[in-house]
């Protein structure tokens, strides 16, 4: 079953006809899991897909439908699914044991690679996720500065710890979201991205800012882009104020370039948070940075200096299987042009999808940087030309706004029934295994989606 076998059906009817196995699993899941899911981004009407296997740039659902994959393990899989070097390393590690409850050689090799590749990394502390890495980065910054306030940017995502909830998709005034205490949200100052006056005012008004944390290519991997000149402003302001600058490179690390966005733009933060690619598609993360900062986790240094060491256990920190996958991934990135290939595919895909929009007379745009794509559905019908669209001409709040009538999830559904899985942004990340065949399928799927939306009266 595919879209072509049901040419006149609605997207939803086609999706339902293609995916009875997913429907059955989703029905059962709803009795067991809130919304039937394990990650908020999998919430999808009428029900999400259930995937059974994946290889390189593609994956198959439980009904054996094949999809070009732009989820890429939420950005973790720059080498695609089941890269042979990563799989060999994982299998070898599994055969030796999944958890030693002890130090092991791989964590040392893994840390060595990270310090070689990421300019800000003098020391590494492994965590089990990006959320844990950003939480630890804030704690380190507060400990070493003796200050409490944190500056974050509206729309930027840093995981789901209590400091990171207001101002991501709601509570843009900084009030606490459900379940978060006021005391905590009071210590977080929100600023608009690229707002030089705003950030300067915050530094003038508050002398107790411990850290500024930012997604360095902008919210959601450049969906709302950050100007490199703004990163320089942050570097200068934080240096003058004795504030710790943290780049959250959970997505951009080892993706934008081998050394992440900091290596690409030459602006080096004091600390960096990593996850996703760093662990090669298995669970893992790390906070890395200057030795003097990470020393707050060091038994001997803190004792010698009379400081209270920051406590940091974590059952799965530097798990040996994740370490093996991480090492194989980072070594492959070091030894190949995988980053460049993913970035080049991104540029070409954006160009071709914009050609589709122009051919079809649709005033949307496909944009992004490096190996990311975002579809701007132009909710306020601005007069734009897809091929010359510059996201920096638009306020971040505009870029984050969804067009009415649930159109963004309809775009996702249109792409799915034509064999492509993007997220409901609609956005996607690209791997080094995406090639000509995947490009052609994606461009055709986009054209078919636009035409289906027109047929359903969702697009003028």
| 215-244 positions binding ligand PLP, by CB under 6 A | 215
d(CA 76, CA 15): 27
HEC string of the chain equals: CCHHHCCCCCHHHHHHHHCHHHHHHHHHHCCCCHHHCCCHHHCCCCCCCCEEEEEECEEEECCCCEEEECCCCCCCCCCCECCHHHHHHHHHHHHHCCCCCCCCHHHHHHHHHHHHHCCCCCEEEEECCHHHHHHHHHHHHHHHHCCCEEEEECCCCCCCCHHHCCCCCCCCCCCCCCCCCHHHHHCEEEECCCCHHHHHHHHHHCCCEEEEEECCCEHHHHCEECCHHHHHHHHHHHHHHCCEEEEECCCCCCCCCCCHHHHHHCCCCCEEEEEHHHHCCCCCEEEEECHHHHHHHCHHHHHHHCCCCCCCCCCCCCCHHHHHHHHHHHHHHHHCCHHHHHHHHHHHHHHHHHHHHHHHCCCCEEECCCCEEEEECCCCCCCCCHHHCCHHHCCHHHHCCCCCCCHHHHHHHHHHHCCEECECCCEEECCCCCCHHHHHHHHHHHHHHHHHHHHCCCCC
Residue number, 370 or 389, with CB nearest to ligand PLP: 370
CB under 6 A: which stretch of 155-163, 305-313, 334-342, 368-376 binds ligand PLP? 155-163
Residue 74 found at the interface with ligand PLP (CB under 6 A): yes
CB under 6 A: which stretch of 26-34, 50-58, 125-133, 200-208 binds ligand PLP? 125-133
What is the contact mask toward ligand PLP in residues 16 to 45, using x (rule: CB under 6 A)? ------------------------------
Per the structure block, which two tokens stand in for 112? 């060595």
Residue 158 found at the interface with ligand PLP (CB under 6 A): yes
d(CA 125, CA 351): 40
Residue 250 found at the interface with ligand PLP (CB under 6 A): yes
Cβ within 8 Å of residue 11, ≥6 positions away:
410, 413, 414, 417, 449, 452, 453, 456
CB under 6 A: which stretch of 88-96, 153-161, 195-203, 349-357 binds ligand PLP? 153-161
- Considering the complex, what minimum distance in angstroms separates the CB of residue 38 from ligand PLP? 12
The footprint of ligand PLP on this chain (CB under 6 A) covers a number of residues equal to: 14
Residue number, 68 or 136, with CB nearest to ligand PLP: 136
CB under 6 A: which stretch of 30-38, 54-62, 128-136, 451-459 binds ligand PLP? 128-136
Q: Is the dihedral of CA 136, 396, 450, 345 positive or negative?
A: negative
Residue 69 found at the interface with ligand PLP (CB under 6 A): no
Per the structure block, which two tokens stand in for 110? 């893994």
Residue 130 found at the interface with ligand PLP (CB under 6 A): yes
CB under 6 A: which stretch of 50-58, 95-103, 115-123, 157-165 binds ligand PLP? 157-165
- Considering the complex, what minimum distance in angstroms separates the CB of residue 278 from ligand PLP? 10
Query: Quick one: which of 14, 19, 129, 377 contacts ligand PLP (CB under 6 A)?
Result: 129
- Exposed/middle/buried for 339, CB within 10 Å: 0-12, 13-18, 19+? buried
Residue 159 found at the interface with ligand PLP (CB under 6 A): yes
- Considering the complex, what minimum distance in angstroms separates the CB of residue 75 from ligand PLP? 7
- Considering the complex, what minimum distance in angstroms separates the CB of residue 329 from ligand PLP? 15
- Considering the complex, what minimum distance in angstroms separates the CB of residue 317 from ligand PLP? 13
- Residue with nearest beta carbon to ligand PLP: 130
Residue number, 261 or 432, with CB nearest to ligand PLP: 261
Query: Quick one: which of 22, 120, 134, 369 contacts ligand PLP (CB under 6 A)?
Result: 134
| 264-283 positions binding ligand PLP, by CB under 6 A | 275
Residue number, 164 or 328, with CB nearest to ligand PLP: 164
Residue number, 286 or 416, with CB nearest to ligand PLP: 286
What is the contact mask toward ligand PLP in residues 282 to 311, using x (rule: CB under 6 A)? ---x--------------------------
- Considering the complex, what minimum distance in angstroms separates the CB of residue 323 from ligand PLP? 16
Query: Quick one: which of 47, 110, 126, 157 contacts ligand PLP (CB under 6 A)?
Result: 157
Query: Quick one: which of 14, 120, 131, 429 contacts ligand PLP (CB under 6 A)?
Result: 131
Q: Footprint of ligand PLP on this chain (CB under 6 A)?
A: 74, 129-131, 134, 157-159, 215, 248, 250-251, 275, 285
């Amino acid at each position: 079953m595919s879209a072509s076998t049901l040419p006149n059906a609605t997207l939803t009817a086609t999706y339902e006809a293609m995916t009875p196995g997913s429907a059955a699993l989703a029905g059962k899941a709803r009795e067991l899991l809130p919304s039937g899911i394990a990650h908020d981004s999998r919430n999808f009407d009428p029900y999400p897909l259930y995937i059974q296997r994946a290889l390189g740039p593609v994956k198959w659902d439980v009904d054996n439908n094949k999809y070009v994959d732009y989820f890429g393990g939420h950005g973790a899989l720059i080498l695609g699914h089941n890269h042979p070097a990563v799989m060999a390393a994982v299998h070898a590690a599994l055969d030796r044991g999944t958890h030693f409850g002890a130090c092991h050689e791989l964590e040392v090799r893994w840390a060595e690679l990270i310090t070689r590749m990421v300019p800000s990394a003098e020391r590494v502390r492994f965590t089990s996720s990006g959320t844990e890495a950003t939480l630890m980065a804030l704690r380190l910054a507060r400990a070493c500065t003796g200050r409490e306030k944190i500056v974050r940017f509206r729309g930027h995502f840093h995981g789901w710890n209590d400091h990171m909830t207001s101002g991501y998709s709601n509570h843009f005034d900084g009030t606490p979201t459900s379940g978060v205490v006021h005391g905590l949200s009071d210590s977080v100052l929100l600023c608009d991205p690229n707002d030089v006056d705003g950030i300067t005012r915050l530094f003038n008004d508050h002398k107790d800012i411990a850290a500024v944390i930012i997604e360095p290519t902008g919210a959601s991997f450049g969906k709302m882009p950050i100007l490199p000149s703004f990163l320089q402003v942050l570097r200068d302001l934080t240096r003058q104020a004795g504030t710790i600058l943290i780049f959250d490179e959970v997505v951009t690390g080892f993706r934008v370039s081998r050394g992440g966005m900091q290596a690409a733009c030459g602006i080096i933060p004091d600390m960096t948070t990593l996850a996703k690619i760093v662990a090669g598609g298995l669970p893992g993360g790390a906070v890395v940075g200057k030795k003097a900062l990470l020393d707050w986790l060091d038994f001997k240094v803190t004792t010698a200096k009379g400081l209270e060491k920051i406590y940091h256990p974590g059952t799965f920190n530097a798990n040996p299987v994740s370490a093996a996958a991480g090492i194989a991934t980072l070594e492959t990135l070091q030894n190949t042009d995988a980053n460049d290939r993913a970035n080049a595919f991104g540029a070409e895909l954006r160009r071709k999808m914009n050609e589709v929009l122009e051919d079809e007379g649709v005033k949307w745009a496909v944009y992004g940087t490096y190996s990311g794509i975002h579809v701007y559905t132009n909710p306020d019908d601005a007069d734009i030309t897809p091929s010359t669209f510059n996201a920096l001409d638009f306020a971040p709040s505009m870029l984050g706004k969804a067009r009415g009538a649930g159109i963004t999830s309809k775009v996702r559904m249109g792409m799915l029934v034509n064999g492509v899985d993007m997220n409901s942004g609609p956005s996607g990340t690209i791997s080094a295994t995406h090639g000509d065949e995947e490009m052609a399928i994606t461009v055709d799927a986009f054209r078919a989606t636009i035409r289906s939306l027109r047929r359903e009266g969702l697009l003028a």
